[in-house]
Homo-oligomer: A and B are copies of this chain.
Amino acid sequence: MRKRNACTICAVRQKALCRGLPEDQQGRLNRTAYHRHYDAGRFISGADQRQDWFATVLSGVIKLTKSLPDGRQQIVGLLFPADFLGRPFRGRSPFTAEAATAVELCCLDRCHFEDLLQKTPGLSQLFLERTLDEVDAAREWMFLLGRKTAEEKVASLILLVARRLRRAGADGGAERPAVHWDFPLSRTEMAEYLGLRIETVSRQIRALRSAGAIEVAEGRAIIVRDLAALERMAQKECE
């Protein structure tokens, strides 16, 4: 479950929060950091439950969910490689984190990180900028949930995942989204993120397929056949 690793060979070091630290601090952080692995579907951290560590996602996708006693559940955020997991300055997060795919985390001690956050303006600022981006992303998604049709929702989600996976990819380069990859979410999870039912998601995927925008292949693979068409169907809106 745990092993140490060097920041210098970290796959996400160019993009993760850690780059806000000066080198000497990075070294100190490294000495206390450790890795964790979760299989797909595993519970990571809980709503209203004390968490004494934070983490950077090294690989995989994490879903943040909120659910009601009556069974209704909504995914309220996805974390991709280089994203940060945790809620500083408050013991517990109001949401549950679960591994959507197999996940590798680089974990940091809560106190140590909060301390660093207060003492390192560069880190603090980087964290703030990221958090502001998260607010924007959440609000964009609010638009999707409130105003888009089922077809637009599904198209938007595929585009969002394509872009995020592309960005998370090792190649620092192109802004153009990936066109062929394994979709990290099940139909159920797609529905939970889009505010739809699983059957509706299935039907809309079929519609996108018939329209020639995408193709679904072996396993959970999705191939973007016609990016322009997909963007048109998403109302040029996503992320």
Contacts and interface: CB of A to CB of B under 8 A. Distances in A.
Contacts of A90: 129, 132
Interface string A44-78: 00000000000000000000101010101110110
B87 A139 contact: no
Contact of A143 (B66, B121, B135, B147): B66
A77 B139 contact: yes
A177 interface: no
Most buried by B among A77, A119, A147, A235: A147
A176 to B, nearest CB: 21
A145 interface: yes
A188 interface: no
A131 to B, nearest CB: 5
A147 B73 CA distance: 7
A80 interface: no
| Chain A contact surface mostly | helix
A165 to B, nearest CB: 21
Interface residues of A, number: 43
A76 B136 CA distance: 9
Given A64-B139, A74-B142, A117-B128, 5 more contacts: A68-B237, A76-B140, A77-B139, A87-B132, A138-B142
A30 interface: no
A204 interface: no
Most buried by B among A125, A136, A142: A142
A94 B136 contact: yes
A195 B124 contact: no
Contacts of A181: none
Contacts of A73: 147
Contacts of A235: 68, 70
Given A66-B143, A147-B195, A132 B132 contact: no
Most buried by B among A94, A117, A131, A134: A131
Nearest to A191: B146
A66 B139 CA distance: 9
Contacts of A93: 136
B129 A66 contact: no
A17 interface: no
Contact of A147 (B72, B77, B132): B72
